[in-house]
Chain A
Amino acid sequence: DVVMTQSPRSLPVALGQPASISCTSSQSLVYPDGNTYLTWFQQRPGQSPRRLLYKVSNRDSGVPDRFSGSGSGTDFTLKISRVEAEDVGIYYCMHGINWPYTFGQGTKLEIK
């Protein structure tokens, strides 16, 4: 199985400041079709997970453009350019290259 490793596990950030979360996979997430199947989810307290970004950097509808994704192969990053109060929650990366899908351990973003 692909192992997904996130860091940091806890991320205190002041309002208006940038935030960055790293995700590393134990094998390349490049599929034979040329796409890289790395997805980011946000889970606000008490809510279901919400997909933010798919195929590394494609934002879902309604996701603010302060969220961006980058990376290739096995190393990926989620960046928030200016953190807002509504961004509090846990962020997970997940690979979708084959089954079983696996998730990173999660990064808890809180306001400092």
Chain B
Amino acid sequence: QLVQSGVEVKKPGASVKVSCKVSGESLSGYGISWVRQAPGQGLEWMGWITAHNGNTNYAQKFQGRVTMTIDRLTKTIYMEMRSLTFDDTAVYYCARDLPYTVLAMDVWGQGTALTVSS
């Protein structure tokens, strides 16, 4: 199960750090993708991180503005986004993702709503 942090409201230019806690299983071998969904829009993949060694892969659009990290002690994955704009208003989801396996994007968190407003 993936449990995400709560609603966030930020001003333009600020940063946000969203968490995704793994419960009920080991983090070993885990991978997590982050996906966002702007209001009334479709799904957009942001990037991926592996618990194995912390390696990441970001969509080009988010390179340099997003950082994904893992705290193995608390089994929590973080997605930090900087220099927020109004266009970053969206629901952010984490999903278990072990590419090329049956565990690719099979379990999703409940989503974290971010509103960027002045």
A residues adjacent to B (C-beta < 8 A): 31, 33, 35, 37, 39, 41, 43, 48-51, 54, 58, 60, 92, 94, 96, 99-106
Contacts and interface: CB of A to CB of B under 8 A. Distances in A.
A19 B43 CA distance: 22
B108 interface: yes
B105 interface: yes
Nearest to A104: B42
B73 interface: no
A101 B100 contact: no
Contact of B105 (A31, A39, A43): A39
B44 A99 contact: no
A84 to B, nearest CB: 22
A96 B110 contact: no
Contacts of A60: 106
Contacts, number: 58
A106 B42 contact: yes
Contacts of B35: 49
A39 to B, nearest CB: 6
A54 B95 CA distance: 14
Contacts of A54: 102, 104-106
Nearest to B43: A103
21 contacts: A31-B100, A39-B104, A43-B43, A49-B35, A49-B93, A49-B95, A49-B108, A51-B105, A51-B106, A54-B104, A54-B106, A58-B102, A60-B106, A94-B105, A96-B100, A96-B105, A100-B45, A100-B60, A101-B105, A103-B45, A105-B42
